[in-house]
Amino acid sequence: MLPINSRYGCSVAKCFLLWSLVPFINAKGDDGESHTKMHNADKPPSESHLDLRDVVFIIQSQRNSFHVRQAEKLRKDLLLQIQALEESPPVIHLLHTLSDNGGDWSILPLLPYLSSQFGKNSSWIMFLEEDTRVKLQKLHQVLRTIDCRKEWFLGKPLHDEESTIIHHYAFSENPTAFKYPDFSAGWALSIPLVNRLASKIEQEPLKSDFTIDLKHEVALYIWEDGKGPRLTAVPELCTLPERSPVAQHCATTVNSHSPQCGQPIKSENLFVAVKTCKKFHSERVPVVKKTWGKQATLLEYYSDYADPSIPTINLGVPNTERGHCGKTFAILRRFLSSAVPKTDWLLIVDDDTLISLPRLQALLSCYESSEAVCLGERYGYGLGQGGYSYITGGGGMVFSREAVVQLLASGCKCYSNDAPDDMVLGMCLNALRVPVTHSPLFHQARPEDYAKEFLAHQTPVSFHKHWNIEPIEVFNKWLKDKNTDGLQKGTKEEL
């Protein structure tokens, strides 16, 4: 087992939980099925009669108003294409409307419902993200070539270049062996597979565990240690930009631009709180000051020691090796006090978080500060057993003022100073029925911990940890823009 590096101190270090709870998985093979092999398979006599109404589309929507609008736009576009094709309309559902279970975003708990509703009269469940763009006629042509009476798991494959903490160091002997889907390209399950998985879930309830990288964990569950189907690569499922001249063959594309809904919010309307501690004042704080800290108008460093040379503020909460719940709640209280300027937005980060504030300001133009908004990279705990979602702290936690007001008014508090702050906040938000809003642009880990093709169609907002990297170089490569508006994507690989 790999050691926990001491550099993880003074941040929300849930890695110790992951290492203790999740066994290593090792494999030497398991290449994904090829599209060529799929087309060479025996084809059913009725394949040419597959109607689009035999496909159920699930848009992986969220409860936040901005994301509801995005999902509705996608649904409307699908219906307009159907009308033009003069086809019978398929079933299109927004995921967040299917039940009151906030954990439905983790997909697996939803499969019994999908099986009961569509397991007899449909052929495919096609999952789409809000930013996925679909050419229905092309998608129809692809699905007609596949025997939907068999178990199929379709998508655009990703793989790890090296074993990574976000995948619990799975397949450490051969990280490239296991393929999992890039959800941005869309992915599909045949109904026979949905029905079998649903029966399995009903007979063997899902374990109460962490949901960290959903696409990898769904693929692992379906693969079932080699007993289930592998991901089949479908070249027509793409993450090329929608208007790319080389996307003619694609049935799906992706909007690769970072969302912006008007003018970015002003830097004076974003208060930034950096959590640190004395032992990292000379190591991590200088990195913040040399990189993204220069982009902030309102920023304070919170520590267990008041150092006027930085300066840092001692909130009266002793430092803890992990969790930092006491410190985070003290920050929330300070944000609502007269001690700091009044702003609509609060960003809480660790001292080893790397972030682009201009990109964040552009992203926040899409959200209503009058709503209770909690934004970042969403994780889950015990979602198969009625658990809760939370924003993982290392990638940055963004709160609207209204969200902070509701959190503190609820009386929710830490059960100890070293409790995991992000998870406690998730429990509080779950009790308040305030949705946790996910953005894939926030990252709990380093760029090296993510598949290259996954990052290639992103404009990332944040990464986390200084472990085995040069943090200033990482910031300059991934998060520093050539201009000052946060929209230049010069660091990105152009697909």
For the chain, 495 residues long, the average pLDDT of each consecutive 10-residue run is 34 36 35 46 51 96 97 97 90 95 94 97 97 96 96 98 93 94 98 98 90 97 96 97 91 84 96 96 97 98 96 90 89 98 98 98 97 98 93 98 98 92 97 96 97 95 97 98 50 32
Which residues lie below 8 Å from residue 305, measured CB to CB, with a gap of 6+?
277, 278, 281, 312, 314
58, β-bridge pairs: 93, 127
44 in Cβ contact with 147 (< 8 Å): yes
pLDDT attached to residue 259 = 79
Burial 437-472 (b: 16+ CB within 10 A, else e): bbbbbbbbbbbbbbbebbbebbbbbbbbbbbeeebe
Taking the C-alpha atoms of residue 324 and residue 189, their distance in angstroms, rounded to an integer, is: 41
pLDDT attached to residue 487 = 38
26 in Cβ contact with 60 (< 8 Å): no
Cα 305 to the center of its chain, rounded Å? 34
Question: Could you tell me if 229 and 319 lie in one domain?
Answer: no
Domain boundary among 211, 229, 254: 254
319 in Cβ contact with 416 (< 8 Å): no
Angle between helices 325-335 and 401-409 (to 10 degrees): 120
Question: Could you tell me if 399 and 422 lie in one domain?
Answer: yes
* Residue 115 belongs to some domain of the structure: yes
270 in Cβ contact with 345 (< 8 Å): yes
Taking the C-alpha atoms of residue 242 and residue 108, their distance in angstroms, rounded to an integer, is: 29
pLDDT attached to residue 50 = 84
* 486: alpha, beta or left? (left if phi > 0; alpha if psi -120 to 50): left
pLDDT attached to residue 435 = 95
Question: Could you tell me if 243 and 215 lie in one domain?
Answer: yes
CATH of the domain at 360: 3.90.550.50
Laid out side by side, the sheet with 252-254 consists of 132-134, 252-254, 237-241
* Residue 372 belongs to some domain of the structure: yes
Question: Could you tell me if 286 and 235 lie in one domain?
Answer: no
Give the domain extent around 53.
Answer: 31-254
* Residue 8 belongs to some domain of the structure: no
Question: Could you tell me if 127 and 181 lie in one domain?
Answer: yes
Helix (H) or strand (E) holding 455: helix 452-456
Taking the C-alpha atoms of residue 71 and residue 60, their distance in angstroms, rounded to an integer, is: 8
pLDDT attached to residue 493 = 32
145 in Cβ contact with 75 (< 8 Å): no
User: In terms of DSSP H, where are the helices of 214-324?
Assistant: 214-223, 285-290
* Residue 10 belongs to some domain of the structure: no
Q: Please, what is the end-to-end C-alpha distance for the chain in angstroms?
A: 37
Question: Could you tell me if 45 and 77 lie in one domain?
Answer: yes
* Residue 40 belongs to some domain of the structure: yes
CATH of the domain at 173: 3.90.550
* Overall number of domains in the chain: 2
Question: Could you tell me if 418 and 393 lie in one domain?
Answer: yes
Of the candidates 233, 460, 246, the one whose C-alpha atom is nearest the C-alpha of residue 359 is 460
* Residue 4 belongs to some domain of the structure: no
* Residue 145 belongs to some domain of the structure: yes
Domain boundary among 206, 225, 254: 254
pLDDT attached to residue 483 = 66
Per-residue DSSP letter, 225: G
* Residue 45 belongs to some domain of the structure: yes
Question: Could you tell me if 333 and 282 lie in one domain?
Answer: yes
Question: Could you tell me if 386 and 472 lie in one domain?
Answer: yes
Question: Could you tell me if 231 and 274 lie in one domain?
Answer: no
pLDDT attached to residue 86 = 86
Provide the whole-model pTM.
0.88
Identity (one letter) of the amino acid at 175?
A: P
Helix (H) or strand (E) holding 133: strand 132-134
Question: Could you tell me if 239 and 114 lie in one domain?
Answer: yes
Domain boundary among 204, 229, 254: 254
pLDDT attached to residue 323 = 75
Question: Could you tell me if 245 and 324 lie in one domain?
Answer: no
Lookup: tokens for 180: 């999992």
